[in-house]
Structure 1
Amino acid sequence: MLIKQGMHGPTGEYWIGSAAMVSEAAAIEIAAGLRDRIAKGEDVFQEKRDRKKQTVTLGWACDEFWKVHEPTLKNDKHKSQWVHGLTVKWKALRDKPISKVTVDDVYRTIKPVWETTLETAEKNIEQLHKVFLWAIAFGYAKESPAQKAVLKNRLGTPRKKVQHLAALPWRDMPAFMPRLRCATGLGARALELVILTATRTTEARAARIEEFDLKQKIWTIPDTRMKGGKQHVVTLSDAAVTLLSSLIDDRKKGLLFPGMDGDKPISDMTMNAVLKRMKAACTVHGFRSSFRDWAGANDQPREIVEECLSHEVGNAVERAYKREALLKQRRIVLEAWSAYLAPKESNVVAIRG
């Protein structure tokens, strides 16, 4: 926005934020306010000059950036990751003037994370880089010391490999499922749904009743809860429909797995607590690997298995053309998985709760 102040007053650009941060209506209102101040003889650029004289720390910049970035995120898990990254991962640099933060500072801070959890380190670097882009726009910094390409050259290849989440061997699954079905509580039922549908923790624990069509035997997960940001349709086996019917009962809407206050879903740790009580040496996410390993050992079509796991296979045109066919084939694979988990000869009676 270009502001001109009087015949002989200061002239310059007054940046109020990008279109992604400020709506058109808000921009018009801000502009009107600035014009009123100019008409009263105020120097609207003095505030900008004063800000530049202040010592702006990285922590302050992170907090100010978060105020405009948080509304753009819809996923609670993503918000939590951002907050943790900006407040914890870069804690050692938060009190340092942002204009004094160097590539060496960023390198030393992120190196331990880079060597143990590569994916997390890359996300932390991307987050910090965005903060610096925001700071540059306001004149608080001249360049970003958190450019991934530069840092990757210095950090090199991690010495330690990324640890895969522990999975229960697929051959142990038929013995595990009766024990799980005898466990009580929403955490156990959520874990059962995760296993039957091969979905992720976030997708299941925040599921809403409105997403399920038990007559058509499908579960439509919105893009806001998907890792890839795209809607995913899950086919439901007969066992999954039976489980969901007992959970939904006569409810029409709301969270399938509500937490203690009812307004939020059960926490990430609820299903992990079930595994801990059962003394199972695996993670919730690991059951996706159990499903994939079972599929590979039992000649299930790889392309269909990847679709069940919501991994994109082929280009957009191919996926659109095959959508209906793949849905039918996915149903066959997940029904076979369900049958493997609960052999007909099993005489274990499940206790719901």
Structure 2
Amino acid sequence: MRFALFVSLLIAGLLAAVPADAVDIDRFLRKDTFEKLTISPTGDYFAATVPFEDRTALVILRRSDRKLLGTFSLGRHSHVQEFVWVSPERLLIAVAEKMGSLDRPVLTGELFAMDADGSSPELLVGYRAQDNGLGTRIVGKKEEFVYAELVDDLPADDRNVIIAVTPFSADAYSRADRMDVHTGRRVTVARSPVRNASFVTDNKGVVRFTYGIGTDRRMRVFHRAAEGQEWELISDETRTGLAEIPVGFAEDDRTAYLVAEQADGPDKLIAYDVVTRERRPVLGHEIADPARLLYRPYTRTPIGAVFLDGRRHTSFIDRNSPEARMQRNLEAAFAGHAVEMTSRTRDGRLTLV
């Protein structure tokens, strides 16, 4: 109580010592109305997360009149962490929970889906799939003790996605499943030779890479030439001392991209020819690792990266690409601000900035 009173008096004293119009303290106290915000593939809707004191909800607004059409929330301590439009009318949702003394909510490995008008909310994968485990109107599928995450939303397929599924067990080998986002029905399309693995698809939606960390805490990366082919080890941290992570493919699906640790500096984005195994650096920074990769909309093709070296800025593999030119124009128009293109309609007519 004494400490709380001291802090209150200290803040009051500081505010009294500063002119009232010098600091807009409300900007630092209030929560944002929206956090993540995206536009639907046809431009008919906006989807956005809305933070509350004890939860984060998802809302869908009709773009034409901003009318609220649907909401998604699991209640206290639950947070909508990620969401993606898997068709013009349906979203896939990943949730996280605030657990114990942890500062940040932790993803639960459950995947939900909901229509843009708020109808047909369903738990497609997860341990709370039985209706009595949700306490909401959300319909559950079969109860399953696994951790699932989205791999590829398959932009050309409005019905299915590729997900990674890992059992809750000590000796967990992951698999990649093609899942129907309406029924939850799944078909396994790949199995990983490493535990707790992730997967990367090419631009046709074929799983081509898998990677994971073994019991020795070292990264291994495997590649296969096509669906049904055998996995081949292409990167082993135990041999090189450096980890690599595959992140996507060029449009030809022959050149892959990997984020690779360097012995003498920050990580770089490198191009990897899956036939010749030739590696060449394509993007890097003198003092900073790539903080986030930028992808060409509705593809698995990395086109640039965000670097944080005291300020936020973007770099592109091809400085003359349409995306690079647009980024430069936006940064000039909003000088002094961080500018990010969050989503775009399929026809490219509307971009959300």
What TM-score do you get using the length of structure 1 for normalisation?
0.23
Structure of higher RCO (CA pairs closer than 8 Å, 6+ residues apart): 1
Larger Rg: 1
TM-score normalised by length of structure 2: 0.23
Which one has the bigger helix percentage? 1
- More strand as a share of residues: 2
